[in-house]
Each structure stands twice: as C-alpha cells, then as structure tokens.
Amino acid sequence: MKILNNLAKTKFWQSVFRTKLPLSTNLDRSLVIFNSLTLHIHPVKVRLRAIKFSYTFYLGMISFFLFFVLIVTGVLLMLYYQPAIPHAYRNMKDLEYVVSNGSFLRNMHRWSAHLMVISVFLHMLRVFYKGAYKPPREFNWIIGIVLLVSTLLLSYTGYLLPYDQLSYWAVTVGTNIVQYIPVAGKEIRFLLLGGNEIGEYTLVRFYVLHCVVLPLVMILLIAFHFWRIRKDGGLL
Amino acid sequence: MEKNNSGMKKSNSENKINRRKFLISLGNTATGIVVLGGIGVTFEYLTPNVLLEIPKVFKIGPINSIQPNSVIFEPEQRTFVVREEQGSFYALSAVCTHLGCTTKWNDIGAAGNSAAVISCPCHGSLFNKYGEVLQGPAPRTLDKYRVQLEDDKLVINTGEKVSEDEMILKV
C-alpha cells in the first residue's frame, strides 16, 4: 500500500491517472470513474436487481464477450489467410492441418460465431418480452436491430472465405435472393459480387466487408448501444 | 393597420436574402454536390469495368461426333447441349431458375419419373429434358439459348435467350 501511495505521487502516475490518491471522499471515488475512458462507460448507479443473473441472463454481455473473442481469433486467422482464389481454400486447409493450433483458433472463431448469432437473438427475445423496446428505449432497440443484422451479415460474409463447395453455393443462393429486391436487386448483386458470377472480386469484397467494414460498424454501434443504455435510464 | 404593416415588414425581412443566408445556402449546395458526386464516383469505382469472366459464345462439335440422344454438359458455361434422335439440337441452361445452383442431368430419371430429368441439388427442383418445371420451388422453365450451325460445329450463345419455338436447330 505504501509503495502504491509513493507510486501515485510520481509525475508519471499523475500524468496518466488524473485522480489524486489516496481516495478519501465520495467525490474522489466518483472522479475515478468520470476521469477514466474505460471506466466511465459504467453507470453512476446500478439497481441491485439489474445485476441479478435472472434479470438479463447476461445475454448482452455474453454477445459482447463473443464479439471480443471473434476479433482476437479473427485477427490471428488473418495472418495465415489470403483472399485469392487458389490460395483461400489451401490457406484454410493449412490452418486446419499444418499451422500449430490453427484448427483450435479456426474452431474457436467458428463456434463463437455460431454462439454469437444465438446469443444476440436470445438477447433480442429477452428485450422484447420484457418490453424494453418501449419509450424511452425505442432508439436503442433500433440500434440493436442493426447490430443483429450486422451479426448475420458478418456470419454470411465469413461463410464465403473458406472458398469450398459449401461456401460457393451458399453465396450463389444468397446473392440470387438479393437479386429479388425490387428495382435495384440486379445492381446490388453485381456490386456485391463485383461481376456476374462469384470470382476473385467477390472473395476480396466479402473479405473486406468481413474483416474491416462490418466490424467497424459493429464497434461503433456497440459503443453507442452501451452509452444509450445509461442515458435511457439503465437496464430494463 | 400599423400592426399589420410591421408584421409584413418582418416577414419581408425574413424572406429577403441577406449575405449570411446567401453564403449558408451556397455552402450547403456546394457540400450537397460534393457529397452526391462522391457517392456517384464511389459507386462507379465499385463497378468493375473489366471482368475476366467466361465468354458467352462457345463452340461444340463437329456435329457428326455428337451421338443421337445424348447430352453434353459444359461445366464452364453451365449449359446442356442436347442432340435428339431426329438430328435436332438444342441448348439448355443448367442454372436453376430458383436460386442459381447448377442442375444435374439424370438420364435414367429420378423421383418417380422414368424419363430423363434435370434435378437441382440445392432445393430439389425437377425439370424435364426440355427444361419445363416438374416440381418446385423453381418458378419458371430453364433458359434456352440460341444454337446456330457454323461449318460443322454448333455455336451456342448464352447471352441470347430464345423461346420454345426457336430453341430447336434442325440439321
């Protein structure tokens, strides 16, 4: 404790952490939260029942945790994967059979993805049945819907990346469904595929959507989603 | 009357374009043009100009070497080229009209049909050998392509779809 107190008096500590130690008043304690970027996402007050497991089943937090696992494993998988046509399938095979712990990482990514779709869906059901979509939380519900759609799109774009028969035909079927959108269906399909058939461009487009565009959208919306929970009056 | 007059004056001065309003609308218009242009340019960028896709026209033959009552499947163009007994040819798209999977020609028939059928592995659509739907979910018949004779070879253009009356080439 004495060492910590001495450390807290150094210039280095004080330039990183604004709060003066030791803490003595309630104001000091709340300033710890207010002055920290990572901690201030917590609400000032939490109702006791809101932390009970049976209140939320922690579904939002489970989804967020799975998203975090997916980012970590996904970034590691990217290091052995090239989104090009002869390579993609072989890279996936290499990850499975050659790279140390590759199949562990790949399976972790795969299972987390499946679980995330399930947990996000259950989260939506929980919110729906508790009526937590009602004002003043209606906008956060909309953000949640966009997050659900983003989760499904991430699953779908990730599906093409192994570039095996299953991926190829799943994306053929999926992009043909897109074609049925009125007016702009054919154009959207062409833009998604980068051509008329699945090819090199499709793989790169899906790769960029899967690894850059959609995760960025997710991160921004998740941050906003959490912030809105506090602003709309806490968990319900 | 005075009140009315002053009211008129006020609304007049509100409608009047002063320097501030002019500059604001000029700025907004310029920003709008740049944003719209940016979206347009991005869409153009995302639409490839050169596609290394399989050519639409392909040749098959010589026709003497194609057996009567036989089917040739061209996997790249996803097309069935059929020769019937009388020496008539036609070309049928192998792309399922439901959601675009490649169908398979079954000479011995399938799913209770004794005649040749074309079946789709994705959602179980069935077609007869002229591409007519026997069983859904396919919503319409398979596409038929124009077949022409050039010297002794068949030229099939997958870019040119034809109706049932025009599909058969008699030789």
Write out pLDDT tens, residues B9-65. Answer: 555 566 788 999 999 999 999 999 999 999 999 999 999 998 888 888 988 878 888
Identify whether B52 is part of a domain: no
Closest CB to A169 among B51, B54, B122: B122
How many structural domains does chain B have? 2
Q: What CA–CA distance (Å, rounded) separates B157 from B31? A: 47
Name, in order, each residue with C-beta under 8 angstroms of A195's C-beta and a sequence gap of 6 or more: A201, A202, B48, B51, B53
Q: How far is CA A108 from the centre of its chain?
A: 15
Write out pLDDT tens, residues A26-38. Answer: 888 888 888 887 7
Shared domain for B22 and B76, answered yes or no, is: no
Q: What CA–CA distance (Å, rounded) separates A175 from A112? A: 25
Q: What CA–CA distance (Å, rounded) separates A194 from A214? A: 18
Shared domain for B126 and B88, answered yes or no, is: yes
* ω into A22 cis (within 30 of 0): yes
Shared domain for B17 and B80, answered yes or no, is: no
Residue range(s) defining the domain that contains residue B61? 57-170
Shared domain for B39 and B65, answered yes or no, is: no
Identify whether B120 is part of a domain: yes
Shared domain for B37 and B76, answered yes or no, is: no
Identify whether B135 is part of a domain: yes
Identify whether B118 is part of a domain: yes
Q: What beta strand segments (E) does B87-168 contain?
A: 88-93, 104-106, 117-119, 126-128, 133-135, 144-150, 153-162
Which chain B residues have a beta carbon less than 8 Å from that of A175?
100
Q: Is the pLDDT of residue A190 over 50?
A: yes
Higher pLDDT, A21 or B166: B166
Q: What is the ipTM of this complex?
A: 0.76
Shared domain for B28 and B63, answered yes or no, is: no
Closest CB to A177 among B48, B51, B99: B99
Q: Domains of chain A: which residue ranges? A: 59-231
pTM of the model: 0.84
Shared domain for B10 and B73, answered yes or no, is: no
Q: Is the pLDDT of residue A8 over 70?
A: yes
| Residue with the two structure tokens 């130690």 | A21
Shared domain for B100 and B19, answered yes or no, is: no
Q: Is the dihedral of CA B63, B67, B71, B75 positive or negative?
A: negative
CATH code of the domain occupying A59-231: 1.20.810.10
Identify whether B122 is part of a domain: yes
Residue A192 distance to chain B (closest CA, Å)? 9
How many CA within 13 A on the CB side of residue B101?
22
CATH code assigned at B71: 2.102.10.10
Identify whether B102 is part of a domain: yes
Identify whether B51 is part of a domain: no
Which chain A residues have a beta carbon less than 8 Å from that of B46?
191, 194
